[in-house]
Structure formats: structure tokens, C-alpha cells
Amino acid sequence: MPLRSDWSGDTCAVARGADVFADPWSVLVLREVFVGNRRFEGIRSVLGAAENVLSERLRRLVAEGLLRREAYGSGVRPRQEYRLTPAGADALPVLNALAVWAAKHTASPTTAEMHLYCTTCGQESTSADWCTTCIRPLTVSTTAWERPTAPGVRIDLAESFAS
């Protein structure tokens, strides 16, 4: 018996979205790519995922059109890194919403939380898709994250998204 159902053909958009985003590994892989961690070993190192699990999630995110593979370096053994596609960049509000919801409704093991910043005005936002100060959309080009693992350090997602 499979561990999950296939909702990719469902008429409900929530079900189809859950088919892509309901796997925690996939969401965490996307988080890493958003902050510029694009290579298999780098992602595996941060997530601690087994190689086969990470390989499958990356393959699926590429198949779903959220990531694309890009060769880098030269040598005998080809190397690949993963970059966001426009569809992947459009997933930003989903990850932001998870962070905002979790900060509000779940207990953190530390006092540090993930913070979302609007790079247009420089202020923190408590909304997943709009800056709560300047009322502009939060997109890859206008968002920075401050991760709980590095308080005080903002990661400009636009820099991470640049090719």
C-alpha cells in the first residue's frame, strides 16, 4: 500500500497543491534552494536526508517544474545544481505562510524564529505575501529571510535566485 495518495488529477486546487507541497522534505529542499543552497551535498548536509530520499525529492521537484537542473564545473564526473524556475519562485508565499503560521501557532525549541523582511522598505512583515508596512508584494526580488540558525543575518532571496 502506498504511503500517500496521488491528488495531481484532482479538480480541487488545494488537493493538487497538497500533492506537490505536502511532503515535508520537498518543502525543506525548496527552502534551501531559496537561500542559495543549490547543490546536492550542501542540501543533504543541512537537511540530514538520506541520499535516496533527497534524490527522489529533487527528481520530483524538477518533474513538477519547481526546480531545474543545471550543470556546473568541468571534469570527468558531471555535477548538477538546482535552481528555482518561475513556478518555484511563485512558491515563496507558501513557504512564507508556513513560517508565519508556525511562528504563531507552534512552540519553538529556542527563542529564535524565522523572520520575513521586505527589501523594498527594509521592515519585517508578518504576512506571507504582502509587506505589512509598505503594502507591496513579497516576491523573490523583494524578500529577505532571517533564519533562526543565524539571527541578525538577512538572506536576500533575489541574490540567491539570480542565475
Instruction: State residue 3's pLDDT score.
Output: 45
Does residue 2 surpass a pLDDT of 60?
A: no
Mean pLDDT of 68-88: 89
For the segment 42-57, the average pLDDT, to the nearest whole number, is: 96
Mean pLDDT over residues 28-37, rounded? 96
**Mean pLDDT for the chain overall:** 90
pLDDT of residue 81: 94
In the chain, what are the domain boundaries?
Answer: 13-88, 91-161
**Model-level pTM?**
0.88
Domain 13-88 has CATH 3.20.10.10: no
Which has more pLDDT, 6 or 26? 26
The answer, yes or no, to whether residue 1 has pLDDT greater than 80, is: no
| pLDDT interval class at 109 (50, 70, 90) | confident
Least confident interval from 15-29, 57-71, 89-103: 15-29
C-alpha cell at 8: 495531481
Report percent pLDDT > 70 for the chain.
95
